[in-house]
Amino acid sequence: MDFAWNEDQLAIREAATEFGARMLVEGVEERDRTGSFSQQAWTACADFGLTGLLVPERWGGGEQDLLTAVATFEGVGRGGLDNGTVFTVAAHAASCAGPILDYGSEDQKDAWLPPLADGSTIGAAAMTEPGSGSNALGLNTSAEAMDDGWVLNGSKTFVSNAPMADLFLVYARTGPGGLAGLSAFLVPADTPGLEVGKPIEKMGLRTAPTAEVFLDDCRVPASSVLGSVGSGAMIFNQTMDVERLLVMAPAIGVMERLLARSVAHARERDTGKGPIGKNQAVSHPIADMELDLEQARWLLYRAAWHAQNHGTATRESALAKLSVSEAYIRCCRTALQVFGGYGYTVEYGIERELRDALATTVYVGTSEIQRNLIAGLRGLK
C-alpha cells in the first residue's frame, strides 16, 4: 500500500507548517498560563481554511479528502505551538461540522455548514455526562417528544469549545436503553434552557476551553434532529472514527518537531566530555522517539486511507488513536529527559508539550476504551 503524498498534499502540509509557525506561536505561553482562548488565533485558522477543511466548496469549505486533512493538521502541529487552539479547530471540524455534512438535511446543511466552514460559528459536541464517562450508552440526558418538537433535560461535562460555542450537537436519550435509544440534536447556544458553566481549569490544553453544559426544559423544534430519531449512536460512532484521526494528526507534527529539537540539543549540549548525544543513555531514547514517531505516523495514515476508501475505520482509527497518543507522551517525556533541567523549565516549552500530550490518552475515548474496541472486534467481550 502506497501512502506517499502527492504534490498538492505536500504543498498543503508545508503551507500548514509555515502557517503554524507564523500564527500559532506568539503569546502561547501567556495564554497557557491564564487558560485563555485566542479569538485571533481561531480567526487565523479559519482564514487558512482549517475550520472548513472537509466541507464541500458548495458551502464555503475547502472540500479536501480525509488524507489531505490529516496531512494539513500534521503540518499545523509541526509548525505551531498552540496545541489547544489546534485541538479546538479539529474538534469543531470533526465532531460538529462533519456530522452535519454526513447526516444533515439539506436545510440543516444550508443553515449551518457555511458559518461553520468560515469559522464565524463555533461548534461543539455534547456527549459525555458526569455519571457516564466513557460509557456513551449510559447517558441520562433525555429528549421528550412534544407536539411541536422536543424538550431536552440533563447535563453534559468536558464539552470542548463549550464556553465560546454558537452551536451544540447534543446527544440525548429518546428511547429505552440500547443503540436505538439515542438521538442527536442541533441546539443553538442561545436556545432558552441551555446554559454553559464556567470553564474547567485543566492541566494541559489550557487554550482549549472546556465546560459543562446544562439543559433545563430546553425546547427545540422537530427540525433540530440530526439524521433520524434513534440514529444518534450510529452518528456518534461514525463521527468518532474521523475525530480520532483529526485530533491526533497534530501530535505527529509535534513529535517530529520535538525529535528534531532533541537531536539538535544532543549534538550541541556539551557538559565537558563531548556532546551528550554520544552517550547511549541519550542516543538510544532518541532512536526510540523516531521509532515511536514512524509507527504512530503510519498507523494514522493507514486509518485515514481506510476511512477514505472504505467508509468506516473503527478498528483502524482505534489502533491509530491508541498508538499515537501513547507514543506522543513517551516522546514528550524523552525530550524532557534529553533537555534535563532545562526541559523542566517553562522557558523551553517542553513541560507544556508534555501537559498537553497527557490529555490525548483521555479525550476522544481513553486508551482503555480503544483497547476495548480492538479486543471487542476480535470477539473478546
Catalytic residue set: 243
Question: Ramachandran region of residue 311, left (φ > 0), alpha (ψ -120 to 50) or beta?
Answer: left
Question: CB 39: neighbour CB atoms within 10 A?
Answer: 11
Measured CA to CA, the distance from residue 347 to residue 371 in angstroms comes to 36
Query: What is the rounded (10 degree) CA torsion for 330, 331, 335, 338?
Result: 70
Measured CA to CA, the distance from residue 124 to residue 352 in angstroms comes to 25
Residue 214 phi, psi dihedral angles, 5° rounding: -115, 135
| DSSP letter (8 states) at residue 96 | I
CB 370 within 8 A of CB 318: yes
Q: Rg of the chain over CA atoms, in angstroms?
A: 21
CB 210 within 8 A of CB 158: yes
Length of the chain (residues):
381
CB 252 within 8 A of CB 297: yes
Residues in Cβ contact with 233 at an 8 Å cutoff, skipping those fewer than 6 apart = 136, 137, 179, 180, 181, 182
Measured CA to CA, the distance from residue 296 to residue 118 in angstroms comes to 31
